[in-house]
Amino acid sequence: MPEETIFSKIIRQEIDTPLLYQDDLVTAFRDIAPRVDTHILIIPNTLIPTINEVTEEDELALGRMITVAKKLAEQEGIDEDGYRLIINCNKHGGQEVYHIHMHLLGGQPLGPMLSI
């Protein structure tokens, strides 16, 4: 698994990406290829490749990801109509960057959970 990802560079602002939120535990920014009207990524500042590598020490950061998602949904005005939070894990789960990231999706009807 990687020791460095594109997200690591965004966290350190080595890649010019406007941040929507950042604190000592998590960082949030808009997805560069949004799938819906609102598509924000929320990531822990510590590199955790997949959910399979999560430990008890990561609980605070993962919890913060959810509270930040709530705040951003309110700021984006999508909290009342609803939104979806997704974390993909590994190839079959659709994970493309091996640094845990939560997708905050909303701003339009999202349809069924899966379309296989």
Q: How far is CA 76 from CA 2, 7, 103, in A?
A: 32, 22, 14
pLDDT at 113: 82
What SS3 state is found at 53? helix
pLDDT 10s digits, 81-115: 999 999 999 999 999 999 999 999 999 999 888 76
Check residue 62 and report its DSSP letter. Answer: H
**pTM exceeds 0.75, yes or no:** yes
The CATH T-level fold of domain 6-106 is HIT family, subunit A (3.30.428)
Q: Which residues are catalytic?
A: 101
Residue 58 exposed, middle or buried by CB count within 10 Å (0-12, 13-18, 19+): middle
